[in-house]
């Protein structure tokens, strides 16, 4: 089945540093999404990408939909302590029954040292 390889699995950085994480797959996706999960909460959508090559920002966050449609990256600039959490990528596609489905990455756990 389809799988997403998300890396790195975890990161420990100093406040103010930039962060980069990515998701790759052997399959093509129609959409890429990035979610963040705070401890004890459900994931929250950060950025949604719908077109190959698309580059989208949300404050200090920037994400890109890879030109091959098989990958995406998320960058966080000038990290702050509240960036702590687990970041998930998710790829959207249509299955044989024309139903839209999501495949999730395994998450990148981010810790920020103030």
Partner 1 sequence: DTAVSQTPKYLVTQMGNDKSIKCEQNLGHDTMYWYKQDSKKFLKIMFSYNNKELIINETVPNRFSPKSPDKAHLNLHINSLELGDSAVYFCASSQAGGWIEKLFFGSGTQLSVL
Quote the DSSP letter at residue 30: S
How many residues are there in the chain? Answer: 114
Quote the DSSP letter at residue 78: S
Strands, E, within 8-60: which ranges? 10-14, 19-24, 31-37, 44-49, 55-58
What's the min distance (Å) between Cβ of 113 and partner 1? 21
* 98 touching partner 1, by CB under 8 A: no
* 92 touching partner 1, by CB under 8 A: yes
Site for partner 1 in 19-78 (CB under 8 A): 31, 33, 35, 37, 40-45, 48
* 7 touching partner 1, by CB under 8 A: no
Rounded Cα gap, residues 34 and 22, in angstroms: 10
Q: Which residues bind partner 1 (CB under 8 A)?
A: 31, 33, 35, 37, 40-45, 48, 86, 88, 90, 92, 99-102, 104, 106-107, 109
């Amino acid at each position: 089945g389809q799988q997403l390889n998300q890396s790195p699995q975890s990161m420990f950085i100093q406040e103010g540093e930039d962060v980069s994480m990515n998701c790759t797959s052997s399959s093509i996706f129609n959409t890429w999404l990035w979610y963040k999960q705070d401890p004890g909460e459900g994931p929250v959508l950060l950025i949604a990408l719908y077109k190959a090559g698309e580059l989208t920002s949300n404050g200090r966050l920037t994400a890109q939909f890879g030109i091959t449609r098989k990958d995406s990256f998320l960058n966080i600039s000038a990290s702050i302590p509240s960036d702590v959490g687990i970041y998930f990528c998710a790829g959207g596609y249509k299955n044989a029954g024309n139903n839209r489905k999501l495949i999730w990455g395994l998450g990148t756990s981010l810790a920020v040292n103030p």
